[in-house]
Amino acid sequence: MATAKPASRNTRQRRRLSWPRIVLGLGLIAAVTAWFYRDTVMAQATAGTAYGARVACSCRFIGGRDLADCEKDFEPGMGLVSLSEDEAAKSVTASVPLLSSQTATFREGYGCVLEKWDD
């Protein structure tokens, strides 16, 4: 009866070395993909926070609803947008962490107006 040879030490070392290479390769692919789509992601984050700030400001200072209740008015896919308010300035700031932040301020006669965007 024949018995199988145990795997040699070199074979085991090659298997161990391949996993770090695979993880490094996948990380590199993810980094290149993120760099390639950075403008699209930033544009969507800016548009989402601007929309969120404007809608929440109108909801809060024109509609008189709670800020937590105003999040129900968001479109699907806006789960990363968080809101904060400044009652004294009558403004609402919407932000996506590390990407974008926009503020809308209530002005009598104009409604809620976004702050000027940086170019």
The reported pTM is: 0.70
As a whole number of angstroms, the distance between CA 105 and CA 113 comes to 5
pLDDT at 22 over 90: no
Instruction: Identify which has the larger pLDDT, 7 or 45.
Output: 45
- What does the alpha-carbon distance between residue 6 and residue 89 come to, in Å, rounded to a whole number? 74
**Which of 59, 40, 28, 45 lies closest to 94, judged by CA?**
45
Q: Please state the rounded mean pLDDT for residues 69-80.
A: 87
Check pLDDT > 80 for residue 16.
no
pLDDT higher than 90, residue 2: no
